[in-house]
Amino acid sequence: MAGGRPVTARTGLDANLVVPDRLDAALAVGPGEVVAVVGPNGAGKSTLVHALSGLVPATGRAVLDGADLLGRTPRERSVGVVFQDQRLFPHLSALDNVAFGLRSRGADNRAARARARDWLERLAVADLADRRPAQLSGGQAQRVAIARALVTDPDLLLLDEPFTGLDVGVAAMLRIELGRHLAEFRGVTVLVTHDALDALTLATSLAVLHQGRVVQHGAPDEVAARPRTEHVARLVGLNVIREGDRLRSFSPAAVTVGLQAPADSTRNRWQGVVRGAAPHGDAIRIQVSGDRDLIADVTPAASRELALVPGQQVWLSVKETAVTTYDATS
Ligand SMILES: Nc1ncnc2c1ncn2[C@@H]1O[C@H](COP(=O)(O)OP(=O)(O)OP(=O)(O)O)[C@@H](O)[C@H]1O
């Protein structure tokens, strides 16, 4: 059972998982690290999580602390899982939901319940121990689910969109608390998210999935500064343009918007049509599509003066000094 193992034995995850037509993903993550997996719908994020947990059969390898997970049944894997929709046992109390994993690993009932209560306390829901899942709010149930995943001290923690569907304030609070637990967690964490905030605040590295493959994996700041896919550029709020083997990125704040073609002959100018506009901090962020899909931040006053509403034809330009150019493959 968890607790008896020396922590120093943990060496992390080294995986290359293949699910035909869905996934062919290589990933190496050290112990104590949190990798945020991002990518568009259908990129293979859930398939990766399910392959690691054993819910979807996979070939290749997934070596976790020296042992290949793929040769093990889901129950034999030291993996804790939190899904977006909790999946708590409906007929068990919050306490018994958390104690379940310990009991199925052979812990006696009293010890399992004591440890489960301790984890409910850590997640600030000990007062709800006797409630069934149907009597919990979404945020409370997610706290129970996190306690249930961590109570066995797994080698691998899988979090699949843990904050999706929660109220913004509840999600913000839970994100901070989860961050505290992850800082103490000595196993490997794989966090699937659609949220740049999760990726940049909770993760020690960012892995970008695209059509089933990991196309970029690095420190969150590095990936955010030099995104290789359109999806990640959007996630971190940058424009990115591919020119052969080179990528060129620039901030929406650096984009000048006008109704006439810019007078200078910069090559960084594009014509398009406003597709949407929404507040973004103190600015209005407009989406423009044309030869390129781009975003630009303008002041509310400029937005009014230029009538930047959907359908408006505009010119966008950016100074060359505001553009970062880098290799698409390195
Ligand atoms: N049960 C399944 N059988 C066959 N193909 C599937 C199955 N589930 C998903 N797929 C396909 O596998 C690919 C990866 O899907 P997956 O659900 O892993 O993506 P995802 O990145 O999690 O997407 P989302 O963000 O929409 O949840 C997609 O092409 C999808 O259509």
Whether 115 and 102 have beta carbons less than 8 Å apart is answered as yes
Tell me which of 21, 38, 45 to substitute to probe ligand 1's pocket, judged by most ligand atoms within 8 Å of the beta carbon.
Answer: 45
User: Pocket residues for ligand 1 (CB within 6 Å)?
Assistant: 22, 39, 41-47
Pairing type for strands 188-192 and 156-160 reads: parallel
Residue of minimum CA distance from atom 24 in ligand 1: 41
* Helix, strand, or coil (residue 36): strand
| CA torsion, ordered 47, 53, 59, 62, to nearest 10 deg | 110
User: Please, is 194 exposed, middle or buried when counting C-beta atoms within 10 Å of its C-beta (0-12, 13-18, 19+)?
Assistant: middle
Q: Given this model, what pLDDT does residue 3 score?
A: 47
Residue of minimum CA distance from atom 29 in ligand 1: 42
- Mention the CATH class of domain 239-327: mainly beta
Q: Given this model, what pLDDT does residue 87 score?
A: 83
Per-domain residue ranges of the chain: 7-230, 239-327
Mean pLDDT of the chain: 91
Task: Report the pLDDT averaged over residues 181-206.
Answer: 92
Tell me which of 47, 159, 161, 198 to substitute to probe ligand 1's pocket, judged by most ligand atoms within 8 Å of the beta carbon.
Answer: 47
Q: How confident is residue 164, by pLDDT bands cut at 50, 70 and 90?
A: confident
**Residue 263 token pair:** 């007078």
CA of 129 to the centre of ligand 1 (A): 35
Architecture of the 7-230 domain: 3-Layer(aba) Sandwich (3.40)
The predicted model scores a pTM of 0.85
Task: State the closest ligand 1 atom to the C-alpha of 48, by its place in the atom list counted from 1.
Answer: 18
DSSP character for 82? E
pLDDT in tens, 120-155: 999 999 999 999 999 999 999 999 999 999 999 999
Task: State the closest ligand 1 atom to the C-alpha of 49, by its place in the atom list counted from 1.
Answer: 18
Q: Given this model, what pLDDT does residue 2 score?
A: 46
**Residue 137 token pair:** 């709010």
Residue 243 corresponds to which amino acid?
A: E
pLDDT in tens, 27-62: 999 999 999 999 989 999 999 999 999 999 999 999
For residue 205, what are the β-bridge partners? Answer: 35
ipTM given for this complex:
0.93
Distance CA 121, CA 97 (A): 14
Task: State the closest ligand 1 atom to the C-alpha of 43, by its place in the atom list counted from 1.
Answer: 21
Q: How confident is residue 330, by pLDDT bands cut at 50, 70 and 90?
A: low
Q: How far is CA 105 from the centre of its chain?
A: 30
Q: How far is CA 220 from the centre of its chain?
A: 11
Residue 201 corresponds to which amino acid?
A: T
Residues 6+ apart with CB under 8 A from 90: 132, 133, 134
Q: Where are the beta strands (DSSP E) in the chain?
A: 13-19, 23-29, 34-38, 59-64, 67-68, 79-82, 156-160, 188-192, 205-210, 213-218, 239-243, 246-250, 256-258, 269-280, 283-290, 293-298, 313-317, 324-327
Q: Given this model, what pLDDT does residue 11 score?
A: 84
CA of 56 to the centre of ligand 1 (A): 11
